[in-house]
Amino acid sequence: MAKVLEINGPLVRLELPGAVLGEQVSVGALGLVGEVIGRDGDTALAQLYEDSAGLAPGEAAAGLGHPLSVELGPGLLGGIFDGIQRPLEAVRQVSGDRISRGIRVPSLARGRRWAFAPAPDRSAEMVINAGDILGSVQETASIAHRILVPPDVSGELLELAPAGDYEVDATIARVRSHDGSIRKLTLCQRWPVRIPRPFRRRDHAVQPLVTGQRILDTFYPLLKGGKAAIPGPFGAGKTMLQHQIARWCNAEIVIYVGCGERGNELTDILESLPKLTDPHSGRPLMERTLLIANTSNMPVVAREASVYVGITIAEYFRDQGYDVVMVADSTSRWAEALREVAGRLGQMPVEEGYPAYLGSRLAAFYERAGRVETLAGGSGSVTLIGAVSPPGGDFSEPVTSHTKEIIQTFWALSKELADARHYPAIDWLESFSGYIGQAARWWADNVDPGWAPARARALAMLSESEELRRIVNLVGVDALSSEQRWSLEAAELIKEALLQQSATDEVDSYASPAKQYLLLAGLLDIYDRGMRLVGQGVPARRLLELPVLGEARRWKTRYGDADIAGLRERVARLVEDFMPLEAEYFPAGPGEG
Amino acid sequence: MKNLEFRTAASARGGLVVMAKVPGVAAGTRVSLRDHAGRGRNGLVIRTSDDAVLVEVFEGTDDLDLERTWVRFLDEPYSLPVSRDILGRVFNGVGQPRDGRPPIVSGQRRDINGAPLNPAARAYPREFIQTGLSAVDGMNSLTRGQKLPIFSGGGLPHNRVAAQIVRQARLLGAATTEFVVVFAAFGVSSQDARYFQESFEESGALERLVMFLNLADEPVIERLLTPRAAFTAAEYLAYELDYHVLVVMTDMTAYAEALREVAVLRGDVPARKGYPGYLYSDLAEIYERAGRIRDRRGSITLIPVLSMPSDDITHPIPDLTGYITEGQIVLSRELHAQGVYPPVAVLPSLSRLMKDGIGGDFTRPDHPHVASQLFASYARALEVRGLAAIIGAEDLSESDRRYLAFAEAFEHRFVGQGEDEERDVYASLDLAWELLSMLPAGTLTRVSEDELAKYHKPAEAAR
């Protein structure tokens, strides 16, 4: 008889002979759900996803015979789920404003029918393989949900349902496996969250993930299938930046995992996304978005599970051939959940109380990102963006430093910039991207071959301006030469006219790559023209009076993406802005160069 | 079980008692102990098996004679009796009256731990709450359902600021009766406690107030329950009686220190500065009880006060708090030394939800721009002040000298105000314009041309 032996916070010791590590358990009269994490003879150690208050030794327990797994099928998009994939809207219908313990609601709604269309090239008696596409369901106006043969099934297709309306658990196909057994396939399938879903092979990431955020796309690009981290102290605008990415990035599916973060932030997404339009498809953003919410006040063990639930769903859409972005906010809370459980297990802490396996767990998690050739032969990707919340903003702490070794793109947020109300507060010196080469090819093919050199020049100017800024702070601006003053001004111009971007301004919130490049090229042109005049003896102070410097700062809000031609025309006219000065100093005309 | 007394205490150390051979005791159960002198003590089951039950004793284990300790397990979690009559009352840290009046008679008891709010049931905080303080209302506005802490330091007047907010806080437009305050103080000196009580009594605020007090010399572990009891009262008032509730808690540092003390006794692995790894989750469990719920009329807004050890904002307590709350109001030692009250350092202060609670629908259409302009102009003014310290004020340009004067006026007249001075938000905005009028209109780029024409009056500023 299986029963509870001991309760210690979220950890319970059970008498449960034959328990399998990772197996789900149901504990006590309320049926609290948990997971076996240790085994010793006939006793098993389990961690509960729900609060254990009121549970007493002697209460019944049972193994459920399967590991933590998610239900994958139509009905995922537009939804909000908790850390173990319970649909929170449906839970609200059952248990009201608060989540009562032991509640069981199917992840995908039953009773709703989906219009299934079988794939035209499939028919009975065909041999089908794992991952093949059986048909599709138009889940939202922009997303066709492809119904896949589960990764553990292959054989002869005995029967495929005709086009029609089916519930998620209705049988739509029967398959005779190679061992002769018959498998019934439905519109949905299950997959254990801690095991990566299989694919044919890894491909190189080649396309940038366009976010419409200039400092990201132009300076520190991320590729579809890449890994990025956003570390930042509180108040640096981490959440806002992630929301901007979730809103505007050119992925087909966005999965936002609120892992141990504020409840009101998820509410903000839930209330604002349905009103916003996807700039790429023209449809409401909610139709491509899925939220996983384990807010900071929800049980900590489910927080550890939530990122795996999110990444498994991301892989499932990848396997359908989609480009998926998963944002995990915040991986620090996930790491803290690991630490908390490790502490209760009495495991030896290494750094700041974290267990020794922190680094390997983080690496294994990020490894689930990538662009792959799917089992069906298509191409799909999972891009993983993890927020990191370093205590006290100290990037040398374990989670940030381990993450930094794993990811390729690092968007470092700075408290100083945020305090100066410079948003997005991404530090252009601390950040890096390991994808510049691939991104440069894409920009050259799709926007302008001048991207890579222009980007490098702008970064060099920003870096030089830090040096000049130090001199000014020590001895005052008068100590600078005219060239230096002009360089300093040009760097300020890049910061204000390009790097700063308002998330709340309708025009500025999203900038297409074409607009980003034109702004960058235009600002560099202003710099070059000014520098030439300075080199010919025009004092920098006269250049600083040019009206174009103020006007260029407003280009980003004046020229929307519908008016790229206007911006291009404006940039082409820059020569005129310098004419009065040229006429004054060189009445005969200095000539170009 | 609740009527049985056990005398099986097997061991005791530092506030924990192990009870042997009491089968079937549930986790989180309330415990009542009777020692050899017949004195009652309270406790909580934190770990349980049939062989051993670990009990945390609030009043400590000093002077406990194991053979002569009788223990009852009450089969229930800590709970608070609730009714409309809690308004106007003063309770101790666990909800027993400390105002000399009889206990709350009510059939309704609520588990003080609450249950987590379904994120899908939340409504986003909106609508303005007026605190009567210009630095808050004008530049770091509080909205209904928000969590906005005050970060302070030892010796700074955070208690006076908190008390003033409690006395003055109101909603615009709505009748004042819809608005009530739950005030919880833990680890405070009896002098501070008396200050709060008298301050609220004199101003008449007590009628729309529920107070929970745990003094510095009262059981430390009780402090772990005080914020939970306060939120239980707040949730009852907000979601069952439809009040808009402002919860003010002071001092969260005392709470976190109590948590650390208990964690060490329990042998939990420490993370930073000896605080347990679950400090974040524990604070979130408290703070996240603030908010609004869809289709409910009431709301809970939270202002926790915490003193930053050594004024260090990266200390785990303010740091973790900042990750959970929606902004912070930071008090400045420098302003305090200059006699500015309330000494709000506006630049490091932030209200993340401000944009959704102000403007034409809630306060005044120019409010967002004025706030942004004040931030920009004051930041510029501080740069000028830094420059003046190096090269001397005489060598400043005319425009820079105006900024210097603006910084002075801003700190002393806008941020600074009387402890009994209640400025409504319109007065704060008018004052902001009066000060901004000291600066050349051309430098005010965050406000619109129309607003400049309407409000910017350089002639009056010059007088």
| Confidence check: pLDDT of B174 > 80 | no
User: Are both B20 and B90 inside the same structural domain?
Assistant: no
For residues A563 and A575, what is the distance between their CA atoms, to the nearest angstrom? Answer: 21
For residues A488 and A506, what is the distance between their CA atoms, to the nearest angstrom? Answer: 30
Q: Which residue from A minimizes the CA distance to B294?
A: A97
Q: Parallel, antiparallel, or unpaired: how do β-strands B30-34 and A23-27 relate?
A: unpaired
- The answer to whether A263 contacts B48, with C-beta atoms less than 8 Å apart, is no
- Least CB–CB distance from A339: residue in B117, B277, B391: B277
HSE-up of residue B224 (Cα within 13 Å, Cβ side):
20
- The answer to whether A53 contacts B355, with C-beta atoms less than 8 Å apart, is no
Q: Which residue from B minimizes the CA distance to A60?
A: B24
User: Are both B389 and B287 inside the same structural domain?
Assistant: no
pLDDT value of position B293? 95
- The answer to whether A52 contacts B28, with C-beta atoms less than 8 Å apart, is yes
Which domains are seen in chain A, by residue range? 1-67 (2.40.30.20), 114-187 (2.40.50.100), 201-434 (3.40.50.300), 451-585 (1.10.1140.10)
Q: How confident is the model at residue A343 (pLDDT cuts 50, 70, 90)?
A: confident
| Confidence check: pLDDT of A565 > 60 | yes
Could you tell me if residue B340 is inside a domain? Answer: yes
- The answer to whether B116 contacts A297, with C-beta atoms less than 8 Å apart, is yes
pLDDT value of position B460? 66
User: Are both B107 and B142 inside the same structural domain?
Assistant: yes
Write out pLDDT tens, residues B358-417: 988 899 999 999 998 999 899 989 988 988 887 777 878 888 899 999 999 999 999 999
Q: What average pLDDT does range A469-477 have in this prediction? A: 78
Q: What average pLDDT does range A60-77 have in this prediction? A: 95
- The answer to whether B347 contacts A419, with C-beta atoms less than 8 Å apart, is yes
The binding site of A for ATP comprises 232-239
| Confidence check: pLDDT of A260 > 50 | yes
pLDDT value of position A341? 83
The closest alpha carbon to A459, from A397, A523, A503, A370, belongs to A523
Write out pLDDT tens, residues B97-156: 998 999 998 889 999 988 889 999 999 998 899 999 999 999 999 999 999 999 999 999
Q: What average pLDDT does range A522-545 have in this prediction? A: 94
| Confidence check: pLDDT of A266 > 70 | yes
Q: What CATH number is attached to the domain comprising B62? A: 2.40.10
| Confidence check: pLDDT of B285 > 70 | yes
For residues A145 and A126, what is the distance between their CA atoms, to the nearest angstrom? Answer: 22
Could you tell me if residue B3 is inside a domain? Answer: no
User: Are both B352 and B376 inside the same structural domain?
Assistant: no
Query: Which domain covers residue B252, as residue numbers?
Result: 79-356
- Least CB–CB distance from B119: residue in A51, A80, A95: A80
User: Are both B99 and B128 inside the same structural domain?
Assistant: yes
> What ipTM was estimated for this complex?
0.87
pLDDT value of position B271? 82
Q: Count of A–B CB contacts within 8 Å? A: 190
User: Are both B65 and B83 inside the same structural domain?
Assistant: no
Residue type, A87: P
| Confidence check: pLDDT of A474 > 80 | no
Q: Which residue from B minimizes the CA distance to A100?
A: B115
- Least CB–CB distance from A352: residue in B28, B271, B287: B271
**What distance in Å separates residue B50's CA from the closest CA in chain A?**
6
Using the Cβ of A7 and the Cβ atoms of chain B, whether some distance falls under 8 Å is answered with yes
Instruction: Look at A46-60, A125-139, B189-203 and tell me which has the smallest mean pLDDT.
Output: B189-203
User: Are both B65 and B95 inside the same structural domain?
Assistant: no
| Confidence check: pLDDT of A335 > 90 | yes
**Token output for B70:** 């009788």
Q: Name which of A267, A275, A415, A504 to mutate to probe chain B: the one with the most chain B Cβ atoms within 10 A of its Cβ.
A: A267
**What distance in Å separates residue B209's CA from the closest CA in chain A?**
26
Give the domain-ending residue among B73, B93, B111.
B73
Q: Which of A547-556, B231-240, B394-403, B453-462 has the highest mean pLDDT?
A: B231-240
The closest alpha carbon to A192, from A42, A20, A369, A363, belongs to A20
pLDDT value of position A593? 42
**What distance in Å separates residue A429's CA from the closest CA in chain B?**
22
Q: Which residue from B minimizes the CA distance to A292?
A: B119
User: B271: which chain A residues are within 8 Å (Cβ-Cβ)?
Assistant: 339, 352-353
| Confidence check: pLDDT of A543 > 90 | yes
B101 DSSP assignment? S
Q: What average pLDDT does range B49-58 have in this prediction? A: 92
pLDDT value of position A156? 94
User: Are both B438 and B331 inside the same structural domain?
Assistant: no
**What distance in Å separates residue B151's CA from the closest CA in chain A?**
14
pLDDT value of position B398? 85
- The answer to whether A297 contacts B117, with C-beta atoms less than 8 Å apart, is yes
Could you tell me if residue B405 is inside a domain? Answer: yes
386-445 of A, contacting B, C-beta below 8 A: 389, 391-394, 419-421
* % of chain A with per-residue pLDDT over 90: 76
Q: Parallel, antiparallel, or unpaired: how do β-strands B170-171 and B126-130 relate?
A: antiparallel
- The answer to whether A258 contacts B119, with C-beta atoms less than 8 Å apart, is yes
The closest alpha carbon to B269, from A307, A352, A383, belongs to A352
User: Are both B108 and B125 inside the same structural domain?
Assistant: yes
| Burial of A62 (C-beta count, 10 Å sphere; 0-12/13-18/19+) | middle
Using the Cβ of A550 and the Cβ atoms of chain B, whether some distance falls under 8 Å is answered with no
Write out pLDDT tens, residues A348-393: 888 888 999 999 999 999 999 999 999 999 999 999 999 999 988 8
For chain B, the average pLDDT equals 91
The closest alpha carbon to A134, from A154, A110, A111, belongs to A154
The b-or-e profile of B379-402 (16+ CB within 10 A means b, else e) is ebbeebbebbeeeeeeebeeebeb
User: Are both B49 and B87 inside the same structural domain?
Assistant: no
* % of chain B with per-residue pLDDT over 70: 98
Could you tell me if residue B257 is inside a domain? Answer: yes
Could you tell me if residue B338 is inside a domain? Answer: yes
User: B323: which chain A residues are within 8 Å (Cβ-Cβ)?
Assistant: 234, 389
Name the more confident of B387 and B338. B338
For residues A47 and A196, what is the distance between their CA atoms, to the nearest angstrom? Answer: 22
The total number of structural domains that make up chain B: 3
| Confidence check: pLDDT of B334 > 70 | yes
Listing DSSP states for A67-134 in one string gives ESEEEESTT-TT-EE-TT--BHHHHHHHHTTB--TT----SSPSS--EEEEE-TT--TT-EE-TT-EE
Name the more confident of A125 and A23. A23
| Confidence check: pLDDT of A219 > 60 | yes
Q: What average pLDDT does range B264-275 have in this prediction? A: 84
Could you tell me if residue B361 is inside a domain? Answer: no
User: Are both B267 and B415 inside the same structural domain?
Assistant: no
B399 DSSP assignment? H
What totals of helices (H) and strands (E) does chain A contain, helices first? 19, 26
Q: Is the dihedral of CA B126, B128, B134, B138 positive or negative?
A: positive
Could you tell me if residue B2 is inside a domain? Answer: no
- The answer to whether B390 contacts A5, with C-beta atoms less than 8 Å apart, is no
**What distance in Å separates residue B290's CA from the closest CA in chain A?**
10
Helices A451-475 and A482-494, packing angle to 10 deg: 120
User: B347: which chain A residues are within 8 Å (Cβ-Cβ)?
Assistant: 419
Q: What CATH number is attached to the domain comprising B178? A: 3.40.50.12240
Using the Cβ of A270 and the Cβ atoms of chain B, whether some distance falls under 8 Å is answered with yes
For residues A540 and A482, what is the distance between their CA atoms, to the nearest angstrom? Answer: 5
pLDDT value of position A570? 96
Q: Parallel, antiparallel, or unpaired: how do β-strands B209-215 and B291-293 relate?
A: unpaired
For chain A, the average pLDDT equals 92
User: Are both B41 and B98 inside the same structural domain?
Assistant: no
Could you tell me if residue B362 is inside a domain? Answer: no
Q: How many CB atoms lie within 10 A of CB A218?
A: 23
Give the domain-ending residue among B38, B73, B108.
B73
Q: What average pLDDT does range B258-271 have in this prediction? A: 85
